[in-house]
């Protein structure tokens, strides 16, 4: 199971990395076109640099950014990578910590999963609305619903991840966040000082 999870995470990291690369390349193209648009002689000698062909770059970068943020947060970002306010969580007894983790996990899982259908209902109207400029790149089939559909994926995956976290906490208990921070500090210290971890 752990190997399958690692493959999924590595695949998600690869996809997010490729999306960031595409966004960066589009950004560089956008900058190039912006600064060469005033050079009429360049547009005449190289028609593919005509600025009117590249109106889609801004909307494409924004759409990719939306996908990267929601896809990355659903599949790559770990719970411990988020900013947490865990002062109270770390000082209570293990049984109380377990209750905190179960209640928080259930609240997040239930809220996210229950919001899928109302969100999809709101997205239903977006099936009619076209993007302003992406049709130049991708054709007429792309609708605003397609651009924002990654949010549904985010709601489902994060909801299921927190439901699984509740199961794990019930089975194994909740570890204090301080343990993770201490381990991370030790690992960073070993890396800095050249110590070979055993």
Q: Are residues 136 and 69 in the same domain?
A: no
Question: Mean pLDDT across the stretch 96-125?
Answer: 93
Which residues contact residue 112 at a Cβ distance below 8 angstroms, ignoring those fewer than 6 apart?
155, 156, 158, 159, 162
Q: Are residues 95 and 150 in the same domain?
A: yes
* DSSP code string of 17-80: HHHHHHHHHHHHHHHHHHHHTT-HHHHHH-GGG-GGGGTHHHHHHHHHHHHHHHHHHHHT--GG
Owning domain of residue 99:
80-198
Q: Are residues 101 and 192 in the same domain?
A: yes
For residue range 155-188, what is the model confidence (pLDDT) as tens digits?
A: 999 999 999 999 999 998 887 665 555 555 565 6
- Overall residue count recorded for the chain in this entry: 198
Would you state the pLDDT for residue 13?
A: 94
Q: Are residues 194 and 103 in the same domain?
A: yes
Q: Are residues 85 and 175 in the same domain?
A: yes
Would you state the pLDDT for residue 194?
A: 58
Average pLDDT in the chain: 84
Q: Are residues 146 and 165 in the same domain?
A: yes
């Amino acid at each position: 199971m752990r190997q399958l999870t690692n493959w999924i995470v590595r695949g998600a990291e690869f996809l997010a990395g490729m999306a960031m690369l595409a966004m960066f390349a589009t950004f560089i193209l956008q900058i190039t076109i912006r600064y060469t648009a005033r050079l009429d002689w360049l547009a005449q000698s190289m028609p593919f640099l005509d600025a009117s062909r590249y109106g889609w770059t801004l909307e494409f970068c924004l759409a990719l950014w939306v996908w990267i943020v929601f896809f990355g947060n659903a599949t790559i970002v770990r719970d411990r990578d988020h900013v947490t306010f865990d002062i109270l969580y770390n000082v209570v007894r293990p049984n109380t910590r377990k209750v905190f983790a179960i209640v928080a996990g259930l609240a997040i899982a239930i809220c996210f999963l229950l919001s899928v259908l109302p969100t999809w209902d709101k997205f239903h109207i977006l099936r009619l609305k076209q993007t302003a400029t992406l049709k130049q790149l991708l054709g007429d089939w792309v609708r605003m619903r397609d651009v924002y559909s990654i949010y549904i994926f985010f709601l489902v995956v994060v909801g299921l991840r927190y439901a699984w976290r509740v199961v794990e906490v019930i089975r194994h208990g909740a570890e204090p966040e301080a343990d993770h921070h201490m381990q991370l500090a030790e690992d960073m210290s070993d890396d800095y000082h050249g110590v070979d971890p055993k």
